[in-house]
Structure 1
């Protein structure tokens, strides 16, 4: 009960007239003898997630089509609902379409007026999103009083979205944030949802020139096979935050496909040059503060113009990270209902839902059960406690009224409820209601209810109740049996309430049976239903207060009071879907409504044939829905026969991804009407344009001809989301009505509302599952902080500030490895502590992490080649050795001169497990910087030396100190070759 959704204050008829449902019968009429005390019966049972089919508080909502629709994604579903005003007085209503997230309504909802007992047909169209998963979804159409929260009636449709065999690309894993110039991994998934093997090619792209590997590839997928594709993405170096969209497109073609299959998955990744985050030690709840300025004017000096300012603060969310405590609240003042059609009531409430107990304070909907209290909107308080098997609740509503402006037309009530779980699927509840109001006086109601799951997708809900008090002693029974799932769906609802029963369903009988047969593997579905209603009222309106409202009533119009009347309605229909995605509907309906009094004022029967056609032209992004009703109506009182007909059509077109256009037309001549009415026509067009990522504009125009009155309503709405999250919304409406009843034949109303909404994060409870890790990176020798050092902890990144401080804010408790990811460290600076460093936030939360750095040791050197001085070598003179001639001695080391460095020689430095290797540059030089102080061994690979070179030392052991710069030279000497001259060869033979 975090939001008021029950009975509204204007649901009940004026105390001057009799309610059709019997609630408004005057107390002196209820004092005749009634049945004795009720014997309580225990029946057993539970209904899970099953809203009432049609009847709710004062409004009957009946779907005129099948309750099961089978569609493909990107299709438009159109349904027609009959709305019957059973509040007993004229009211302004508005429809509300509740759909799964991402679904979009096509036909706009406008307020409409109905006299007591009157009915209207409402056409509803909605768009099934392209990427909706196959399965079954619930779409609910609810009707409530204009400007009031909650619903007075509603009906739920089942929309079955068929699986479409196709090639599909999904994102399995991709980070939301990437660091500039640091590669990250992304995993996509390509699925072949066809029934044949496919050879699939894929290509990956980045919108910000990130390097993607592999950029393209191919694979062969068997039918139904799904395979991941792993990508390595390296963002470019950036200085400002940006968003990079990574996409993977898969294509496949095969004989039998007219056009190649193709699908793309993409995700926007925020790329940051650094991220220090924001410390949030408290769990926060998002709230919204809204200031509204609105007004209306008619263009005439009739005193109906008005303007006002309204403030609202609302919020809803978990109080902590356990998802066991929720809070919602709404503070709205003052009410603007009288100033503009967009206005809302003053409303104050606070609702807390906890693991063990709930508390509600203020304006809300308070309820017990169908036969005690389904939901009354008022100002009060509620408390509920839950145990392992028990739940006990109590509430008191100290102020509520039923829509009259007089102060004495109100009441109060107290409700007590206790529920016990016999088994996890079988609940028993006892409910007690003590209510006082100026309609029925003081009465007490006791109800016994059982809810149980009888089997898979089968549930039963039964309640028996009795009342005693000023209205007399009465009894009531209510039962609801629901079977969901495929292929059979059915619902049986039974209701009986005696004339002296003080509950809402006083003096009513009802029997509803709805059956649907929709096999999942067939293109057709069947529907059949039977509805019976009986209302027991035998008193016409009187004029006890000399009210002109009653005096001016024509006796011929008293039929809408339904004195002691009953209604039978039955129908059978079939839906058929062709392979080309055309949908056909055929349905027969029969309805009888008659007055049970000795001198009946009405006795009507009606037979209707409905034919429907719908088609989605996917290549044009166009959807068409049409239907026609043809029937005959017989008034048995007068013997008059009349033809009834109705024509409906809607068109939805999406020429671009940003623009949606819609149009609809509805013509009716007494079809499915609950009382005689003139032919009516409703037509409208709508447009929705997404201007950019932050703003959109919608326009709707509807014209109507009803009971001799022509009306036009035009709506416009503009929304703009600012970069800081603030929302600006402008709503405008022009309405004009032309009828002879007005002095000048024309009545106009113009309304405007401007809203500015600011999101506010409100801290709630301290977060026990997170901690903030702080630390500092600094030079050990000077104590100066090191700026721009990049540190990582799991996927979190922190960068030190100018003084070397860093922070990982609001990190979930756990054990992490703190690693050094680079940054702008001075050359040769190394951490003095071992990295990566383990951080245990379960025990070390709040303990700062100090990371001292030192300037590491440096070992540099050269591999130098030494050769003899060319002037000392007999390079130009050849000496024949032998015959007493000796070769000259080779030059000594002192006589060798450095000539050049040897490039490409592998040099290795090693200290324990730490090993680093380098190749000498073209000059034979090498350098190892940032080495830990200690003992290091420097070696070279002699295999890479020239063939005629020798080296005495291939390795050196060095003791290096912090900040020390050690130099080493590897001396490579060139060998001196001695050439021996041989004498003349003599060959014998």
Structure 2
């Protein structure tokens, strides 16, 4: 585990600085007050006298290509960086590629050595995974001292990943916990992100043989249309907890060639038996204890062989589980830098990040801002405090160095920082640095910085600074304007530092502009860039490092070096992407490098054209990226011209699920490196193989030819993970260099390292973010516990035991709803509590929850039809009415007899907001069981009664007692129809 990165040395707006206010303010209203303050500081600095004294420090890393890219998933990106050593002494360096999680580097980084003022080209290639979400990402290439944390310099690329139009399956609803043998609902959504209608087939699967309905189906989706798919999943009966992966795969045929679009969404559901969960243990921090044994040998008796043992204990995590108190530490001793190339320095630090303050002690990276101190590694202490919209920080580094035993930059420094949020989108900062080192002496530096969101996609970051002290009085300006999003993306960086400025950047001018235009609905895009660098370097100080016994470092051979030079580089590239994931590009480039001294030794102009080809072979799981560059270089001082060529290629192949292969190749004779005019070659291959689920093997081989040297480096690494979490790692490296400067023409080094890491859980405090919820379900009348009652606390499940007790063992603090989810309750049993019952664990954590049940009231009845006796019906006895004869009276209610129950009649019972409805069965019967005690109104809907029927009462009001059964009858009487027969009509003609 490495040291903390110094949370405020790179990102101005610390994530711990609270923000306040709201949006909706126009950008110039936010910007003007800050620029006014900066203008006064700038004017004061310009009026300060400035004696000339300059010495840059660190390593300068410059991209030789554009810094903004637009790519597709499964694409390989290749970039060349120019690394210049400005430390004042020879440096043993190594590169570090920082990428988003899941991205894969194709070119491994090996250590390299640069003389003071030396420059080298480094090829960097990485692979964008297929599942990368569309959006903007940052990829950083940093260079630092081998085996030491921190970076002396670096450069960042902005990579935009384009959306890919395809079929998409998402999960809308699925529980995280399911009960064995109890069905639950799963809802997927199938979306058509194409520009044409699709007929989609889908199929669902379970990894644990759960029954899914429907398991297959088809649907038609219009362009841009999405449709949910609701399924019922019934897990099997289980005795042990398990995880069931529920997946839905959608496929659709598109195009004339029958190409198939497919996508799958899946989620793991924890399926539990009748007893769930374990009691939450005290909160702990996961730490790792590592023992390393390593050594190296050169193959000859030159004193370069060595071996040693190193112990390390490290850890990082939340102190109490709230993510508001984070503790990390590292104790590593002794250092193994000299014994093996895999060795690391001794390192000791403790870092605490809290809600209101931070504390760092020991070896760490300390920093303030780009112009004062970007980030320096050393032994010191840092304290930061945060309030409402404000952050104050202070640090002191008692000792730091950037070199080996003969450190070329040593000293100490004290920094103070103030960060204030004027508005949620506008922050200002003040940095003060008191610094002493063996190059510039004692100096004080003051910087003022602001960052403002001009739009949701555009950020302006500006800083001005001034210094005074032994180096004189100087000033510097740094600005960065970044606009992300689509289709336009650009990045502008400006830097100026006067000759006697003593901050991080010294005596440099820089202007970078990168523009990318990539419409989402077009297969083409445009990229353009312009980079300007001017270095004012003191050649005499470069010559301080002299080793008469080493011809390679002899400063008398540095005739190529120009202490004052400038460089212009510009390019414009057109990119084209086809439907089959093939990429073509053509780029025009111009580069000019000039010596600004009175008697210039070089003035080079290079014009070139670069052709690029890349393709993702989806069926083969292979991605390729290549480029060929042809041009001409002309030296205006000598009048000589020469042809330049360059070829670069990177390949990534996933041969199987367990085997990944990669390769890269670079050949160029552009003479871009300042001390290497000969053609340069770099080639390598990598193999990553998952030997088993617990072990993996990695092999990397690289060959280089540059500066009249041939070198080969081979790396091997094997890792084995044990069931208890321990990790065993074996690393080996062989390096050979062939050059005339060595005694026998060859310099060889072999290194090996064996590491054994054991995880150790260190308890900290009892967990305050979780609680245990206990309770009992019981019969209120008898006091007997009710077993097999299923209760839910949101998505958590508990099942009562034979005595009615239940427990949710580990519940994160919050407000939940306790609900009754069923189970084996006796018929008619109902809880006396209103369900769902709110449970507030912030106030009731640890309290027992009793859930009493009673046998609810039952209301039953029948809708009965009453009819007269068939022998009394007038339709059976015809009576001639008239001439004194009267119709017989209809039968009375007492004379009606029950005939049959009326089925399909809607019956409703209501008590306040509680409403239940039933349809009578074929016999006219209905029954409502488990009703809460109280007053209930029972009604029927007369609309379904027979046409010739009447009913006197359509509703009754009852007082229902617990455990009481009440029965009622709705009496429906059939009407008696009297038929009148008329005499025949007589018609007069």
Q: What is the TM-score normalised by the length of structure 2?
A: 0.75
Question: What is the deviation of 1:311?
Answer: 1.4
| 1:206 equivalent in alignment to 2:206 | yes
Tell me which residue corresponds to 1:240: 240
CA distance, structure 2, for counterparts of residue 483 and residue 854 of structure 1 = 66
CA distance, structure 2, for counterparts of residue 71 and residue 723 of structure 1 = 40
CA distance, structure 2, for counterparts of residue 329 and residue 819 of structure 1 = 47
| 1:185 equivalent in alignment to 2:185 | yes
Q: Secondary structure in 1 aligned to 2:278?
A: coil
What does residue range 351-370 of structure 1 map to in structure 2 within 5 Å? Answer: 351-370=351-370
Tell me which residue corresponds to 2:434: 434
CA distance, structure 1, for counterparts of residue 354 and residue 211 of structure 2 = 49
CA distance, structure 1, for counterparts of residue 642 and residue 198 of structure 2 = 61
Tell me which residue corresponds to 1:579: 578
Q: Secondary structure in 2 aligned to 1:151?
A: coil
Tell me which residue corresponds to 2:312: 311
Contact 2:9 2:369 in 1 (8 A): no
What does residue range 213-612 of structure 1 map to in structure 2 within 5 Å? Answer: 213-253=213-253, 256=256, 258-280=258-280, 284=283, 286-298=285-297, 299-301=299-301, 302-317=303-318, 319-321=320-322, 323-405=323-405, 410-455=410-455, 457-522=457-522, 523-539=524-540, 548=548, 554=554, 556-559=556-559, 562=561, 564-580=563-579, 581-612=581-612
Judged with a 3 Å threshold, the aligned counterparts in structure 2 of structure 1 residues 712 and 199 are, in CA distance, closer, same or farther, namely same
CA distance, structure 2, for counterparts of residue 64 and residue 542 of structure 1 = 28
Contact 1:279 1:810 in 2 (8 A): no
Tell me which residue corresponds to 2:756: 755
CA distance, structure 2, for counterparts of residue 837 and residue 142 of structure 1 = 56
Which deviates the most, 754-763 or 780-789? 780-789
CA distance, structure 2, for counterparts of residue 150 and residue 586 of structure 1 = 37
Deviations along 1:152-200, one digit per CA (max 9) or x if unpaired, are 3333333333333322111222223322211122111111112222332
Contact 2:547 2:553 in 1 (8 A): no
Contact 2:68 2:158 in 1 (8 A): yes
Contact 1:792 1:821 in 2 (8 A): no
Deviations along 1:631-676, one digit per CA (max 9) or x if unpaired, are 3444555555444332211222223233221111222334422223
Question: What is the deviation of 1:210?
Answer: 0.8
Deviations along 1:83-135, one digit per CA (max 9) or x if unpaired, are 33333333233222222233222332222333333333333332222233333
What does residue range 866-905 of structure 1 map to in structure 2 within 5 Å? Answer: none
Judged with a 3 Å threshold, the aligned counterparts in structure 2 of structure 1 residues 330 and 84 are, in CA distance, closer, same or farther, namely same
Tell me which residue corresponds to 2:679: 679
CA distance, structure 2, for counterparts of residue 389 and residue 850 of structure 1 = 46
CA distance, structure 2, for counterparts of residue 6 and residue 84 of structure 1 = 26
Contact 2:703 2:710 in 1 (8 A): yes
Total equivalences in the alignment: 843
Judged with a 3 Å threshold, the aligned counterparts in structure 2 of structure 1 residues 822 and 733 are, in CA distance, closer, same or farther, namely farther
Judged with a 3 Å threshold, the aligned counterparts in structure 2 of structure 1 residues 485 and 822 are, in CA distance, closer, same or farther, namely closer
Judged with a 3 Å threshold, the aligned counterparts in structure 2 of structure 1 residues 542 and 258 are, in CA distance, closer, same or farther, namely closer
What does residue range 901-980 of structure 1 map to in structure 2 within 5 Å? Answer: none
CA distance, structure 1, for counterparts of residue 186 and residue 544 of structure 2 = 78
| 1:650 equivalent in alignment to 2:650 | yes
Q: Secondary structure in 2 aligned to 1:40?
A: helix
Q: Secondary structure in 1 aligned to 2:147?
A: coil
Tell me which residue corresponds to 2:817: 816
Deviations along 1:416-436, one digit per CA (max 9) or x if unpaired, are 233444444444433221112
Judged with a 3 Å threshold, the aligned counterparts in structure 2 of structure 1 residues 696 and 442 are, in CA distance, closer, same or farther, namely same
CA distance, structure 1, for counterparts of residue 341 and residue 448 of structure 2 = 42
What does residue range 726-875 of structure 1 map to in structure 2 within 5 Å? Answer: 726-740=726-740, 741-743=742-744, 745-758=746-759, 760=761, 762-764=763-765, 766-767=767-768, 770-775=770-775, 791-799=791-799, 806-808=806-808, 809-819=810-820, 821-822=822-823, 838=837, 840-842=839-841, 844-849=844-849
CA distance, structure 1, for counterparts of residue 766 and residue 504 of structure 2 = 42
Q: Secondary structure in 2 aligned to 1:566?
A: strand
Tell me which residue corresponds to 2:969: none
CA distance, structure 2, for counterparts of residue 409 and residue 66 of structure 1 = 32
Contact 2:512 2:529 in 1 (8 A): no
CA distance, structure 2, for counterparts of residue 43 and residue 140 of structure 1 = 35
Tell me which residue corresponds to 1:102: 102
Q: Secondary structure in 1 aligned to 2:151?
A: coil
Tell me which residue corresponds to 2:78: 78
Q: Secondary structure in 1 aligned to 2:558?
A: helix
Judged with a 3 Å threshold, the aligned counterparts in structure 2 of structure 1 residues 56 and 665 are, in CA distance, closer, same or farther, namely farther
Deviations along 1:478-536, one digit per CA (max 9) or x if unpaired, are 33344444444444433333333222333333333444444444403131313131314
CA distance, structure 1, for counterparts of residue 215 and residue 553 of structure 2 = 79
Judged with a 3 Å threshold, the aligned counterparts in structure 2 of structure 1 residues 550 and 132 are, in CA distance, closer, same or farther, namely closer
CA distance, structure 1, for counterparts of residue 340 and residue 559 of structure 2 = 34
Q: Secondary structure in 2 aligned to 1:619?
A: helix
Contact 2:569 2:592 in 1 (8 A): no
CA distance, structure 2, for counterparts of residue 491 and residue 655 of structure 1 = 38
CA distance, structure 2, for counterparts of residue 779 and residue 519 of structure 1 = 68
Question: What is the deviation of 1:212?
Answer: 0.6
Tell me which residue corresponds to 1:21: none
| 1:164 equivalent in alignment to 2:164 | yes
Contact 1:780 1:852 in 2 (8 A): yes
Tell me which residue corresponds to 2:978: none
Contact 1:56 1:152 in 2 (8 A): no
Judged with a 3 Å threshold, the aligned counterparts in structure 2 of structure 1 residues 781 and 737 are, in CA distance, closer, same or farther, namely farther
Judged with a 3 Å threshold, the aligned counterparts in structure 2 of structure 1 residues 725 and 438 are, in CA distance, closer, same or farther, namely same
Q: Secondary structure in 2 aligned to 1:539?
A: helix
Q: Secondary structure in 1 aligned to 2:259?
A: coil
Q: Secondary structure in 2 aligned to 1:278?
A: coil
Judged with a 3 Å threshold, the aligned counterparts in structure 2 of structure 1 residues 666 and 407 are, in CA distance, closer, same or farther, namely closer
Which deviates the most, 719-728 or 192-201? 719-728
Which deviates the most, 794-803 or 246-255? 794-803
Q: Secondary structure in 1 aligned to 2:148?
A: coil
Deviations along 1:860-882, one digit per CA (max 9) or x if unpaired, are xxxxxxxxxxxxxxxxxxxxxxx
Q: Give the CA RMSD over aligned residues.
A: 4.6
Contact 2:69 2:516 in 1 (8 A): no
CA distance, structure 2, for counterparts of residue 126 and residue 617 of structure 1 = 17
Tell me which residue corresponds to 2:148: 148
Contact 1:818 1:835 in 2 (8 A): no
Q: Secondary structure in 2 aligned to 1:372?
A: coil
Q: Secondary structure in 2 aligned to 1:203?
A: strand
Which deviates the most, 323-332 or 216-225? 323-332
Tell me which residue corresponds to 1:613: 613
CA distance, structure 2, for counterparts of residue 199 and residue 98 of structure 1 = 42
Tell me which residue corresponds to 1:665: 665
Unaligned runs of 5+ residues in structure 1 are 9-37, 45-54, 858-909, 918-928, 934-959, 963-989
Tell me which residue corresponds to 1:966: none
Q: Secondary structure in 2 aligned to 1:657?
A: coil
Question: What is the deviation of 1:43?
Answer: 12
Contact 1:613 1:627 in 2 (8 A): yes
Q: What is the TM-score normalised by the length of structure 1?
A: 0.75
Tell me which residue corresponds to 2:63: 63
